Amino acid sequence: MVPRKSDRDVVTETNGRNAPPPMTGLNVIHRCDNYVVVDKRYDSRISGDFEHTVEKLLLQEHAAIFPCHRLDYATSGAMIWALNSEAAAKASKCFRRRNVIKLYLALVQGHIEGPTLEDLKASRWHGLQDPYRMLDWPIGPDEEHGFRMKVLIPSQGGKVSQTRMKVVSRGECCGKKASKVILQPETGRRHQLRVHMMKFGHPIIGDATYTDDFQSPRMMLHAWSLTFVNRSIHDTERKAGEKGASSDAMVLCGLKESDASFLAPDPLEAFYDRKDG
């Protein structure tokens, strides 16, 4: 799935929230012959008929550019772009086959009870392992709000949507109780993480589309890590701290094992005061 380029690619007005300045450059995480990985800024367009987009900045340095997946306007973090159509097709196949572990960090409203994640780094190569909470609610378009999604039963158009979730710590954000969580989407529905956390009762702080939180400086959702893996290795070899063998996904995309995991540094810590866990 690629970013939208239509009039539906809109965001909720933030009622006075300070908009970031126009993008003039990109933070490149990784670059090779076939791919470039950028740390997308929050509140930035990926592509489309807008003055400032990630795509336009990349085209200043590359003859062609192809998005391999998408991130919402308000979400920051790691995003992979291909430098040719063949590489784009290979990476997109990996995303469709779920050969990419996608991990997001979020600050959410309130304190979520339960154990906290001890080894954040190990989850990059193996995904979130038991115990974790599975947020399992089908999602479909909200016909009353054209841009939004909502939890719907299958007969009403809801599609299977699953998100693994673990608490990293509990603390405060903008003077209010908050939890830092790590999220691993098993499916790729639009706004999936935002809708699931809302349904769970702990909406993402600063989400001006699904809440009335216009005061927070940004939406506190960040695409922290992308790792190409062989799904069978990911599902069966779960030894913490050990990396899997060179995976089919790496070979398909021509990536070395050392270049198959991309990390976008966590910007949410600047807004978070950790209290425990």
Catalytically annotated residues: 72
d(CA 115, CA 118): 9
Residues 110, 202: contact at Cβ < 8 Å?
yes
Neighbours of 137 (CB within 10 A): 18
Take residue 106 and report the two structure tokens written for it.
């979020």
Query: In Å, what is the CA distance from 83 to each residue of 68, 225, 237, 273?
Result: 10, 20, 32, 40
How far is C-alpha 167 from the chain's CA centre? 16
Residues 261, 246: contact at Cβ < 8 Å?
no
Take residue 15 and report the two structure tokens written for it.
């009622």
| Residue burial 184-214, b: 16+ Cβ < 10 Å; e: rest | bbbeebbbbbbbbbbebebbbbbbbbbbebe
- List the alpha helices (DSSP H) in the chain: 54-59, 85-96, 123-126, 192-200, 231-236, 248-253
Partner residues linked to 71 by β-bridges: none
